[in-house]
């Protein structure tokens, strides 16, 4: 694992800015606690966007600074780390670890891929569609990591050469882009989704259920999958004609796995009943409670061990989310978000639709340079504060930030799925700049159009 070295210059600048904000007089209309909360927020933005220190460490720093600068008590700051969204994420990661460990996720991928009828274009669609469907029930980075050796085996069976085969590029981009698009469809596809819900709940006291998220976003996902597949085929020529050897490789791998083991059946059964519980009882029992109980069930049924969880769960991102939720709550309770909104909108109130367009576009391109989780943590508190003044539905604001922030199609730092695909060595970044930019713009336009036409049909208003 690559060690991340601290950027001391950025750290120094961050703390100088924090000290300056702490010492300057408090502006009219803003409390001292609100001013200090904004100072911490500025530091968090700098550190999250530059990765001067790991995102998780910045999350811990935020939690420590809030009581240190008297923004809130230590009890309040550390209690927010126990937000339900954090435990939902942890439970979802444990479920994904069980699927990976038992081989259930690989079996599902091989089953879906082995059903294509042998044409190059349909194999590509199968890779993209399978990656997207798996991202409905697993984090997209886990899907990309699991699909990578399968796609690499397909490429080897076709004798594709890195940097010389356009079809090789298509295969790995189909894997990555499918996982990315599918990852916005449910709360399991990316931890930024439950983070957004956690911030929504802390800000407004309302929430979005598992079923409501799926109903609002999954139809948009299928439209974007079609757009993504067409974009790939427009920019990259298919330079192979026979992929029967790939089908044979997939069938051999599936045969080698044999019949489903008892552990795969247990993991699949728990996943099935967990999703059903989230859909039908999530609003009664709670998403986090169901996720944690599912994780415990996996241990009770001896599906996984704690060593499996330690090696597969991204504990760092959980720490980052705890800090982000604490930061969001501090900005609300101190009145800092109201002050931001009043200051920004001092010269007039824009149309709510225009504001949503702007913030979704910012989220779309910010996530190419920073972690999509960091993009959500930065933009949602600001979006809520502005939305409260111009009467934007906070649920619509949540979708408008969280979904575009999950759709990064160009740079490896935008999402792990891109980084995993790039590590294949089959293409250079310059080759995907234009198609990635086109897909970024088209997917954003599709998202906006679907939001305007589809959401009103299911009762989601922008205001």
| pLDDT tens, residue by residue, 65-77 | 999 999 999 888 8
User: What is the H or E stretch that residue 5 is in?
Assistant: none
Is 199 among the domain residues?
A: yes
- Listed in sequence order, the residues at least 6 apart from 461 whose beta carbon sits closer than 8 Å to its beta carbon are 393, 396, 455
**123 pLDDT exceeds 50?**
yes
Dihedrals phi, psi of 186, to nearest 5 degrees: -135, 175
pLDDT for the residue numbered 129 = 95
Neighbours of 35 (CB within 10 A): 20
341 found inside a domain? yes
Domain span at residue 298? 8-458
The number of distinct structural domains making up the chain is 1
Cα separations in angstroms, 193 against 68, 89, 312, 313: 30, 9, 19, 17
- Residues with Cβ within 8 Å of 375's Cβ and at least 6 positions away in sequence, in order, are 192, 363, 366, 367, 401, 405
- pLDDT, one tens digit per residue, over 372-414 is 888 888 888 888 888 887 888 999 999 999 999 999 898 776 6
Structure-token pair, residue 328? 């969001």
* pLDDT above 60 for 164: yes
92-113: per-residue pLDDT in tens?
889 988 998 999 988 998 888 8
Within a domain: 209: yes
Q: Write out the DSSP string of 248-306.
A: HHHHHHHHHH-SPPHHHHHHHHHHHHHHHHHHHHHHHH-HHHHHHHHHHHHHHTTS--H
In a domain, 2, yes or no: no
In a domain, 268, yes or no: yes
Confidence of residue 1 (pLDDT cuts 50, 70, 90): very low
Residue 186 DSSP symbol: S
Q: Flag whether 164 is in a domain.
A: yes
Is residue 1 a part of any domain in this protein? no
Burial class (CB within 10 angstroms; exposed 0-12, middle 13-18, buried 19+) of 117: exposed
């Amino acid at each position: 694992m690559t060690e991340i070295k601290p950027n001391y210059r950025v750290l120094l600048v961050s703390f100088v800015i924090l000290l300056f904000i702490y010492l300057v007089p408090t502006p009219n209309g803003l409390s001292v606690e609100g001013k200090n909360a904004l100072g911490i927020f500025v530091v968090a933005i700098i550190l999250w966007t530059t990765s001067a220190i790991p995102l998780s460490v910045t999350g811990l720093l935020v939690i420590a600074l809030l009581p240190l600068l008297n923004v809130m008590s230590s009890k309040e700051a550390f209690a927010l780390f126990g937000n339900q969204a954090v435990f939902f994420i942890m439970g979802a990661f444990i479920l994904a670890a069980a699927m990976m460990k038992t081989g259930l996720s690989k079996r599902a991928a091989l089953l879906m891929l082995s059903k294509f009828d042998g044409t190059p274009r349909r194999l590509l669609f199968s890779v993209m569609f399978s990656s997207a469907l798996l991202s409905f029930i697993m984090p997209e980075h886990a899907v990309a990591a699991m699909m990578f050796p399968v796609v690499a085996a397909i490429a080897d069976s076709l004798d594709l050469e890195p940097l010389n085969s356009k079809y090789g590029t298509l295969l790995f981009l189909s894997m990555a882009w499918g996982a990315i698009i599918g990852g916005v469809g449910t709360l399991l596809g990316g931890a930024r989704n439950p983070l957004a819900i956690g911030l929504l709940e802390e800000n407004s006291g309302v929430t979005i259920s598992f079923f409501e998220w799926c109903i609002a976003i999954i139809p948009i996902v299928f439209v974007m999958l079609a757009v993504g597949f067409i974009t790939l085929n427009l920019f990259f020529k298919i330079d192979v004609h026979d992929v029967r050897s790939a089908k044979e490789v997939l069938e051999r791998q599936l045969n080698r796995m044999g019949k489903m083991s008892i552990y795969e059946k247990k993991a699949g059964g728990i996943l099935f009943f967990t999703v059903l519980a989230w859909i039908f009882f999530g609003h009664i029992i709670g998403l986090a409670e169901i996720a944690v109980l599912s994780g415990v069930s996996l241990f009770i049924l001896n599906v996984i061990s704690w060593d499996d969880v330690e090696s597969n769960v991204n504990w760092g991102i959980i720490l980052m989310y705890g800090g982000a939720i604490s930061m969001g709550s501090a900005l609300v309770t101190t009145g800092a978000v109201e002050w931001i909104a009043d200051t920004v909108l001092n010269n007039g109130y824009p149309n709510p639709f225009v504001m949503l367009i702007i913030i979704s576009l910012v989220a779309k391109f910010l996530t190419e340079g920073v972690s999509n989780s960091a993009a959500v943590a930065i933009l949602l508190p600001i979006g809520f504060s502005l939305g409260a003044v111009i009467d934007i539905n906070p649920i619509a604001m949540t979708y408008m930030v969280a979904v575009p922030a999950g759709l990064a199609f160009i740079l490896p730092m935008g999402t792990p799925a891109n980084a995993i695909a790039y590590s294949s060595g089959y293409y250079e970044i310059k080759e995907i700049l234009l198609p990635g930019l086109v897909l970024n713009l088209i997917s954003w336009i599709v998202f906006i159009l679907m939001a305007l036409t589809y959401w009103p049909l299911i009762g989601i208003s922008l205001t």
